[in-house]
Structure 1
Amino acid sequence: MAKITYVEFSGTEHTVDVADGLTVMEGARDNNIPGIEADCGGACACSTCHVYVDAAWVEKLPSMDDMEEDMLDFAFEPDMARSRLTCQLKVSAELDGLKVFMPEKQI
């Protein structure tokens, strides 16, 4: 289990426990966190679960694959240094303390 902090564009923070094996997107969905729409349900077929990862976590996360990188081209104002799709981030104890920031909107 990991504590993940989701920060809405407005600055409102939500810190929740997310079970190992789920994705960061599923943690948001299961805890009714606004700002992550996840239209494709986690299939990496859209960009509606886009977030900006806290700078302290960028190097700690697994590298993104080509499919995630391609989908980020469709995200709202992607930052290739910090943008990730939460459906591609699998939760484990190593992600305990992860902080992600939602963009102004999802497209």
Structure 2
Amino acid sequence: MPQVIFIDAQDNQFEADIEVGHTVMEGAVDHMIDGILGECGGVLACATCHCYVDPAWQDKLPPVSEAEADMIEAAVEPKANSRLSCQIEMTEALDGLVVRLPRSQY
């Protein structure tokens, strides 16, 4: 199972195995990773799964959709590497993906 490395705003690192076909958000919620809430369940209706993808991984992800870009604009402290983790579907190629979590707003 591919693994995602989550790094919180205090530089604490958490690793989670996420099943292929599940989203990073689903894996974070399943592993109780603080900072990823996924309140809308992954339907692009909130930004509570906002994360920053490590620059080394950005080109390995599908491009941001217009709907995702609109929702990222509503996130707190969006950056060029911002993504909604509900839109990142795990594949074997993403084993080792590193995402940073924004400062908690909740």
Give the shorter-chain TM-score range.
over 0.9
Q: Secondary structure at the residue paired with 1:60?
A: coil
The equivalent residue for 1:78 is 78
Cα distance, 1:105 vs structure 2: 2.4
Q: Secondary structure at the residue paired with 2:46?
A: coil
List alignment gaps of at least 5 residues for structure 1. Answer: none
For 1:89, give the aligned amino acid: I
For 1:96, give the aligned amino acid: D
The equivalent residue for 2:35 is 35
Cα distance, 1:39 vs structure 2: 1.0
Cα distance, 1:106 vs structure 2: 4.2
TM-score scaled by structure 2? 0.95
List alignment gaps of at least 5 residues for structure 2. Answer: none
Distance (whole Å) between structure 2 residues aligned to residue 101 and residue 18 of structure 1: 16
The equivalent residue for 1:95 is 94
Structure 1 vs Structure 2 CA RMSD? 1.1
Q: Number of residue pairs matched?
A: 106
The equivalent residue for 1:10 is 10
For 2:31, give the aligned amino acid: N
1:45-60 maps to which residues of 2 (within 5 A)?
A: 45-60=45-60
Cα distance, 1:15 vs structure 2: 0.8
Report if the CA contact (8 A) 1:20-1:93 is conserved. yes
CA deviation digits over 1:48-93, x for unaligned, max 9? 10000001011111101110000001101101x2000000000010
For 2:18, give the aligned amino acid: V
Distance (whole Å) between structure 2 residues aligned to residue 3 and residue 106 of structure 1: 26
1:66 aligns with 2:66: yes
Distance (whole Å) between structure 1 residues aligned to residue 30 and residue 19 of structure 2: 11
Identical residues among aligned pairs (%)? 45
